[in-house]
Amino acid sequence: MSSQRLPSGGRINRGRPLEFFFNGRRYEGFEGDTLASGLLANGIRLFGRSFKYHRPRGLFGSGSEEPNALVQLGEGASTIPNLKATQVELFDGLSARTVVGWPSLEIDLYAINNRIGRLLPAGFYYKTFMRPRFLWDWYEGRIRHAAGLGFAPTEPDSARYDKRNAHCDVLVVGAGPTGLMAALVAGRSGARVIVADEQAEMGGDLLSSTQHVSGACPWMFLDNLVKELSLMDNVMLLPRSTVSGYYDYNFLVINQRRTDHQAGIGDIVSRERNWRVRARQVVLATGAIERGLVFADNDRPGIMLSSAVRTYINRYAVRPGRTGAVFTNNDSAYQTAVEMHGAGMEVKGVIDVRQRPSQERLLQMDTLGIPVYSGHGVGGTRSGRQGLRAVELCRLSADGRDVLTQKGSLDCQVLAISGGWNPAIHLHCQSGGRPKYDDDQACFVPDKSVQSERSAGSALGIFQLGNCLSDGVDAGVHAVRETGYACAHIDIPYASDRTGSAIEPMWNVPDGVLPGRGGKKFVDYQNDTTAADIALAAREGYRSIEHVKRYTALGFGTDQGKTGNINGLAILAQHLGQSIPATGTTTFRPNYTPVTFGAIAGRELGTVFFDPVRKTPMHDWHVAHGAVFEDVGQWKRPWYYPKGGETMESAVRRECLATRKSIGLLDASTLGKIEVRGRDSAEFLNRIYTNAWSKLEINRCRYGLMLGEDGMVMDDGVSSRLGDNHYYMTTTTGGAAHVLGWLERWHQTEWPELEVFFTSVTDRWAVASIAGPNSRSLLDRLCSDIDLSAGAFPFMSLREGSVAGISARLFRISFSGELAFEINVSADDGVALWELLMEAGGEYGITPYGTETMHVLRAEKGYVIVGQDTDGSVTPADLGMDWIVSKTKDFIGKRSLARSDMLRDSRKQLVGLVTEQPETVLPEGTQLVNEPSTDYPVPMTGHVTSSYYSSTLGHSIALALIKGGHTRMGASVYAPTLDGQCIKAIISSPVFYDPENKLHKT
């Protein structure tokens, strides 16, 4: 493998040689190389294997359009799969591997698929592995091994990723000649400009060009332009930045790669930055992508896009081979023949499907001694060990549909092909614009703008350099005027262009053999989709290009069919006997090129981002005392406090008994707390809650239910009156934010005439709830300024005073059925209060308990938890809570309670359940049936909503919603279990403990 590096030229830095590794072998390249150009310079032509047939593949393109040369870059946690070698910048020590090929690139055992390719048509996997269904998992594993691309890292990426929001007047996408001119106009006019380009260097096609601009060599012109732009404070140049998506309201996302081109800085600065830009005007100077030609065996290593050959020679000073030829249907590839010749390659000929290429081109080739085979096609290719060895010539009929005669072959290592140019209209289409077919140029171009954007230059179907430069100026002027700036003067640079590309479309090059014989004609290289696959799809009845795409995988690869899609849809159009515009394109969706998960996640990583963690003021105490936590909404709540080696069961048993016998202590800080103030507070609460609030005395509390307008229970809680126009509402822990929004919405949108204000104070208060027969005795020791006797401080009332010197608001509220006090103090005093209570309560054996014990205690009393015992289909009557529903006033949801379905006797109603075997605890959520039958389907009669073992009562208890349950006391129901058993249970009152409701009022 001799060096293919040209002795001079290119934009590489020959003073900075770099060492790199590919599939474990060491190579040398230069700063400014890509992995692709570096390997090509070392004579490497085999870059990978194809996805399905495992055919050897080489470079096809030179940028983000590359379908073949996919590599896995780096190792370990920061490895990235499926990068295009054409976009990987070389740095010292770089290491990459090919992604397809097993056990190795050179010897790929799956290449057998190529031999049996006739048996693997489009849809093969769907058709073959459908039955038996249970074997699919096994099949899938084998298919994935054979067909997989790169692998995702298995460890967390240690690199940082970030996001940045930005606004600008003009966003220029693409820094080729068009984009840079637009940026220059906008920059000189004073507009705030962002220029984003996916390449490492600004310049686009100028980087690969030898064509003079305004009399200067293109690189000198480019250097001056970029220098002027980089000195402008109002212009930001973003290289290595792909505009990956164009969304509503001129919102664009730019994905900037900041460190992958250098070794070892990934942990200092962020690896990638996700720019989220709101632009007033967008100039889409995204250029055009050359498309290939579809002919037999068109995938040999050495068959490359004509533009890529030009780029490797001019920009990277690499000769892609010793001998070459050109195959084209338009004028643009002739320049490649000129440059191959200039690079010292032996150019065997230009094969042109057109019968009459322009005289000017023929003369040019004649001068260089390059034969032109007009009216010819390539009917097949032959390969040697290192890829392409020869191409076979055919004389084509005048209409280009048939082969007239075989004309021998040309020996060549490189075939530069051009099937024409596709403007990169992706972003225009993502913005809502439509593509329009341009018959003369045989390509889709942007139709009318829908958002504030304008395509320019090649992206608009303008393919000559001089015209691109002036269209870039026009686009800049347009953007500047639209954003209200005075347009600066600018001299339009000129370039001498030959006019027109004179393209004659050739979508499927005939090879003179019967369909199904001859070589494969690849349309989509990455997915191994062939012209025959598309023909098959058409024969099988597929009509929509979207369906054909999904059936044949056309355009599904990481390159998204940038070089093959248009050829594919044109071939489909031919088979369907319809025009290309009638066939249409597939939908252009973000992202333009693949985006890493890191870039999308940014710094918003881990559980903290996906759901913020909220902790109570006493959280650290709970942690220090071994609490096991439960997530309730966003809150971390102690679930239970195991001692020694206690199981949850024994810890909960201990906590329950301690509370019932002496004192338990619960952190209730998480309950939602909303201050309601204003002249019309009482009236507002009357409308929100099912019960009446006007007559509640100051310092008294009341339990309230909120319904949705559909009559279903939405939230509950105790609210208190603190003053004439001042209420203090509590909500469920999980419902707090929703309830605040609910109050605000009704007030603002329906009853703005009511004077009422809401303030969330959930986090301002720490709440310690003491419950149990000894709680008053304990509090008596700590509280000297409140008379705690039942007469002076009755149940459902509140007092303000101090507890152990901490100013506090005390509520006599009970969620356990015991005598209980909820002590509210400032959040800052929460820990102090808690520790004082633990210390003073020592002689009573005060026991902190968590949410599990809280649940058991409240279930023993038949108190429901909204969201556990209700599910959005439960009314107050279903819960047996008619007593809380006012008959006299209106409230949200009231009318719904009178709908016929609400009055049905067979509604599911809340009841208690006691199992026949006292130790058996019903699984929560289990369905209930009336008879232990196996005559399926067994009619359901309800389900269990809460279920626990009650240590206090010595048997299990459950709450359930059962059809007509309120009138079925004493009846039996059955809970079928997963293991085929059927647990018998008896319907009872949901109040299991202290049914006379005396204890909590003592």
What residues line the site for other proteins (CB under 8 A)?
247-249, 251, 278, 432, 450, 709-710, 741, 744-745, 748-750, 752, 890, 894-896, 898-900
What is the Cα Rg of the chain in Å? 38
Beta bridge partners of 284: 173, 455
The single-letter code of the amino acid at 871 is D
| 3-state secondary structure at position 588 | coil
Euclidean distance between the first and final Cα of the chain, in Å? 97
Beta bridge partners of 453: 282
* Closer Cβ to other proteins, 164 or 899, answer by number: 899
CB of 429 to other proteins, least distance (A): 15
CB of 909 to other proteins, least distance (A): 22
**HEC per residue, 423-491:** ECCHHHHHCCCCEEEECCCCEEEECCCCCCEEECHHHHCCCCHHHHHHHHHHHHHHHHHHCCCCCCCCC
* Closer Cβ to other proteins, 249 or 597, answer by number: 249
Beta bridge partners of 378: 393
CB of 603 to other proteins, least distance (A): 16
CB of 748 to other proteins, least distance (A): 5
* Closer Cβ to other proteins, 894 or 955, answer by number: 894
For helices 333-342 and 359-368, the axis angle rounded to 10 degrees is 10
User: Rounded to whole angstroms, what are the CA distances from 854 to 620, 821, 851, 1002?
Assistant: 20, 14, 5, 20
* Closer Cβ to other proteins, 282 or 333, answer by number: 282
Task: Please say whether the beta carbons of 387 and 408 come within 8 A.
Answer: no
CB of 750 to other proteins, least distance (A): 5
CB of 671 to other proteins, least distance (A): 21
CB of 460 to other proteins, least distance (A): 23
* Closer Cβ to other proteins, 661 or 889, answer by number: 889
* Closer Cβ to other proteins, 129 or 757, answer by number: 757
Beta strands in 553-687 (DSSP E): 628-632, 635-640, 664-667, 672-677
* Closer Cβ to other proteins, 251 or 629, answer by number: 251
* Calculated CA dihedral for residues 782, 786, 792, 797, nearest 10 degrees: -90
* Closer Cβ to other proteins, 625 or 745, answer by number: 745
User: Rounded to whole angstroms, what are the CA distances from 261 to 91, 320, 594, 782?
Assistant: 6, 24, 17, 67
CB of 749 to other proteins, least distance (A): 5
Cα 787 off chain centre by: 60
* Closer Cβ to other proteins, 145 or 895, answer by number: 895
CA angle 522, 526, 531 (to 5 degrees): 20
| 3-state secondary structure at position 10 | coil
Task: Please say whether the beta carbons of 190 and 231 come within 8 A.
Answer: no
CB of 811 to other proteins, least distance (A): 28
For helices 648-661 and 851-860, the axis angle rounded to 10 degrees is 60
Beta bridge partners of 104: none
Q: 615: which 2 tokens?
A: 């902790």
* Closer Cβ to other proteins, 165 or 906, answer by number: 165
CB of 248 to other proteins, least distance (A): 5
Find all residues with CB under 8 Å of 419, minimum gap 6, and list them.
290, 291, 292, 293, 294, 328, 329, 506, 507, 567
Q: What share of the chain is helix, strand, coil (3-state, %, to 5)?
A: 25, 30, 45
CB of 895 to other proteins, least distance (A): 4
Residue 424 neighbours by CB distance under 10 Å: 24
CB of 688 to other proteins, least distance (A): 13
CB of 898 to other proteins, least distance (A): 7
| 3-state secondary structure at position 638 | strand
DSSP string of 310-341?
HHHHHTT-B-S-SEEEEEESSSTHHHHHHHHH
Please state the φ and ψ torsions of residue 589, each to the nearest 5 degrees.
-120, 155
CB of 599 to other proteins, least distance (A): 17
* Closer Cβ to other proteins, 248 or 491, answer by number: 248
CA angle 863, 669, 738 (to 5 degrees): 70
CB of 38 to other proteins, least distance (A): 40
Q: Give dist(CA 931, CA 168) in Å, integer.
A: 70
* Closer Cβ to other proteins, 129 or 247, answer by number: 247
Q: 137: which 2 tokens?
A: 């998992």
* Closer Cβ to other proteins, 233 or 248, answer by number: 248
* Closer Cβ to other proteins, 170 or 985, answer by number: 170
The single-letter code of the amino acid at 5 is R
Question: CA nearest 480: which of 253, 172, 239?
Answer: 172
CB of 351 to other proteins, least distance (A): 48
* Closer Cβ to other proteins, 709 or 835, answer by number: 709
CA angle 758, 762, 763 (to 5 degrees): 125
* Closer Cβ to other proteins, 162 or 471, answer by number: 162
CB of 740 to other proteins, least distance (A): 9
Question: CA nearest 862: which of 918, 923, 817, 928?
Answer: 817
CB of 128 to other proteins, least distance (A): 43
* Closer Cβ to other proteins, 126 or 249, answer by number: 249
Residue 105 neighbours by CB distance under 10 Å: 19
* Closer Cβ to other proteins, 450 or 623, answer by number: 450
Question: CA nearest 328: which of 377, 396, 391, 369?
Answer: 377
